Amino acid sequence: MTDHSEQPVALVTGGGSGVGASCAKHLAKSGYRIGVVGRNPDRLDETLGSIEADCHSIIADLSAPHQCDRIIAETIEAFGRVDVLVNNAGFAAQMAIEDTTEELMRTALDTNLLGPMCLIRSLWGHFLQRGDGCIVNISSLASSDPFPGFLAYAASKSGLDSLTRSILAERPNDSIRAFTINLAAVETAMLRSMFDHEVVPPEACLHPDEVADFVVQCVRGDHDDRQGESIVLARS
């Protein structure tokens, strides 16, 4: 049953852990009802269990972009509206250029770029009808300063940066807002699956809560003058 409450709704992809889970928690504390998308139902349940707000989880894989229409429809069915989309779900694998397979390229492009594009397309009519909305695309510093071995990841994140600029070029008015955040290293399980503490020391990493704080600031309007910019967030 659709909940017609006027309380705003934020939809966060990759919400089962790391940056996505932190974004969901921080947005909930800021007064949002939360939809979280992820592949692992147990991790999604952990996120929902840590949020004191109206929540809804959607099991989906952004590397299968045909699921995006369902994600948006199910969120609107659950809450009656979507005000914020945080495109956080991501895929990264370190591999030399000559060893990078077509399958890996497709997975990176589908998860990191095509999935967000399809979600935005599915949500766009709702934003136009409502007259406002906010999209935060979680990109990477790799789009401008790639680490060796991340051909597919860096290329797909570069496309995400461009996607934000396209949103701003096509929006009918400035009530629809869009941001790109280029993250440096963040202390997450995905990072540690590829780099040990000697290569990327913990003190050089952002904490997921720091990223979530900045996402909330963007949603709140604190950085509206930086829309279209690839905003770098790194440990100072």
Classify 34 as helix, strand or coil: strand
- The confidence score (pLDDT) of residue 1 equals 41
Contact in structure between 3 and 75 (CB atoms under 8 Å):
no
Tell me how crowded residue 30 is: count the other CB atoms within 10 A of its CB.
17
Known active-site residue 153: yes
The secondary structure of 109-125 as a DSSP string is HIIIIIHHHHHHHHHHH
Q: pLDDT tens digits for the chain (236 residues)?
A: 445 578 999 999 999 988 999 999 999 999 999 999 999 999 999 999 999 889 999 999 988 878 999 999 999 999 999 999 999 998 888 889 999 999 999 999 999 999 999 999 999 999 999 999 999 999 988 788 878 888 998 999 999 999 999 999 999 999 999 999 998 776 656 656 665 566 666 676 678 889 999 999 999 999 999 999 999 988 87
Rg of the chain taking only CA atoms, in angstroms: 17
pTM: 0.92
- The Cα–Cα gap between 147 and 219 comes to 29
Q: Which residues contact 13 (CB under 8 A, 6 or more apart)?
A: 20, 37, 38, 62, 86, 87, 88, 89, 115, 116, 119
Q: How many helices (H) and strands (E) does the chain have?
A: 8, 7
Scan for tokens 């599915």, then name that residue: 122
Q: Which one of 153, 156, 164, 211 is the catalytic residue?
A: 153
- The confidence score (pLDDT) of residue 235 equals 81
Nearest Cα to Cα of residue 38 among 57, 19, 65? 57
Tell me how crowded residue 152 is: count the other CB atoms within 10 A of its CB.
23
* Residue ranges of domains in the chain: 9-233
Q: Which residues contact 176 (CB under 8 A, 6 or more apart)?
A: 127, 128, 132, 133, 134, 135, 167
Tell me how crowded residue 25 is: count the other CB atoms within 10 A of its CB.
21
CATH architecture of structural domain 9-233: 3-Layer(aba) Sandwich (3.40)
